[in-house]
Amino acid sequence: MSDLSENAQLTGAPLCSPSIEPEPVHRFIVLSGCSGGGKSTLLAELARRGFATIEEPGRRVVREELASGGSALPWIDAIAFVRRITAMAQADYKAARSLPDPVFFDRSLIDAAVALEHLTDEAMPTDLAAGHRYSNPIFLAPPWPELFVSDAERRHDFASAVAEYDRLAAAYPALGYDVILLPKASVAERLAFILERVETN
């Protein structure tokens, strides 16, 4: 996937029958892609500049489970973890409707559905995908080994992160989304890249 160009239309097995749904009423901009690819840093900068943002569900679930001694963690019970982030992503989508547009999401319900399908073969129901539409395009952070760092909340290795990225890079276009790859550049340059495209869409 490293040779993808901007606005690449990627192919892969769809989570459900692909279809183009109308753009959502709200402007929900998704930053997805490779774990450790700089998405959280971008989201923090967007929040600092006054934009409404939604933190990655996975990080929040991990923090909650570690604090409570729970087992819904990717390295203990991955399926329980993914079901929790799926429910959280649905709640995030609903809550975001009351925020000022545009709203920037660090990952989306689709990311959770891709993970669940990978673990259980449970495809995202068509009505769930259609009822939780995000704005086009989707911004994907490509694998960036020099940036990737494991920590207490991110314990998987880079190879696992790349495999997840490949699944997402196939899933979003299969659900009717355009995909734009973020450049491997500074935070300021990446932010300008995103805002230029958001403001002209």
**Beta carbons within 8 Å of 108's beta carbon, 6+ residues apart:** 28, 30, 32, 89, 93, 132, 134
Domains detected in the chain: 28-199 (3.40.50.300)
Digit-by-digit pLDDT tens for the chain (201 residues) are 333 333 333 333 344 444 445 555 679 999 999 988 999 999 999 999 999 999 999 999 999 999 999 999 999 999 999 999 999 999 999 999 999 999 999 999 999 999 999 999 887 777 777 789 999 999 999 998 877 776 666 667 888 889 999 999 999 999 999 999 999 999 999 999 999 998 755
- What pTM was estimated for this model as a whole? 0.83
How far, in Å, CA of 49 to CA of 108, rounded? 21
Burial 128-138 (b: 16+ CB within 10 A, else e): bbeebbbbbbb
